[in-house]
Amino acid sequence: MDLLLFGPPGAGKGTQAKFLIDLLGIPQISTGDMMRAERKSGSELGQQFDEYMSAGKLVPDSLVLDLINKRLTQEDAKNGAIFDGYPRTVAQAEALDSLLEKLERRIDRVVSLDVALDDIVERVTGRRVCLDCGQTYHVRYTPPPQNGECTNCGGSKIVQRSDDTEEVVRKRFDEYKAKTEPVLAHYEAKGVVKSVQGVGSLEEITERIKKAIGVE
């Protein structure tokens, strides 16, 4: 199954993807994580990602398409993938459709997570991330350990990302409304979209998604 988790930045797509990896036996394809890794590497491409992401702007299609193409042909993604954060524009959706068609695949289901802007601001500004392994915490709901050590890898670099500020969140939401929401219409025309309420406990939202994609 090729599954697309859709919704504004901070809607919980990445969090839910991690629950679905074991359930479906397919990997998460997160352009956000891939681009952050590239930024951390200090490469020329990573510096270009940093320029856009720090300003809360969407990264141009030309800088992400090669990353997606490479990832989809790796062994663990040959039977499907969970797309998180891509496609973000109709042009990207069409490009992904073409790529999947060459692989004799298609997007089987789009799950749209519905979350209000105020809820997203509260979620994102409270988010903290381990720089060593990517483990995510939230100062209110899942606070990092008081000793500052990551519960996943033992690292001590738990920080707020520079693009997790309210100003950046609101800019990204505005860009999402203008550029990304039309992607839903693209997939709705294919009859593969299911809307899911994205507010509640992690377990509640996961159960809603499982129902939407028809798995137990």
Q: Has 36 been annotated as catalytic?
A: no
Using alpha carbons only, what angle is made at residue 72 by residues 68 and 76, rounded to the nearest 5 degrees?
Answer: 135
Instruction: Provide the whole-model pTM.
Output: 0.75
Domains of the chain as residue ranges with CATH: 2-115+166-213 (3.40.50.300), 127-163 (no CATH)
End-to-end CA distance of the chain: 15
Structure tokens, 125: 């500004």
Q: Which of 36, 39, 127, 208 is catalytic?
A: 127
Q: Which of 161, 171, 194, 210 is catalytic?
A: 161
Give the separation between CA 103 and CA 2, rounded to whole angstroms: 12
| 109 in Cβ contact with 4 (< 8 Å) | yes
Q: Which of 39, 88, 123, 208 is catalytic?
A: 88
| 196 in Cβ contact with 114 (< 8 Å) | yes
- Give, for all 216 residues of the chain, the pLDDT tens digit: 999 999 988 898 888 988 999 999 999 988 878 888 888 888 888 898 889 888 888 788 888 887 888 788 889 999 999 998 789 889 889 999 998 998 899 999 999 999 999 999 998 999 999 999 989 899 988 999 999 999 999 998 999 998 899 999 999 999 888 888 889 999 999 999 999 999 988 899 999 999 999 987
Q: Has 161 been annotated as catalytic?
A: yes
Q: Which of 13, 36, 39, 208 is catalytic?
A: 13
Q: Has 190 been annotated as catalytic?
A: no
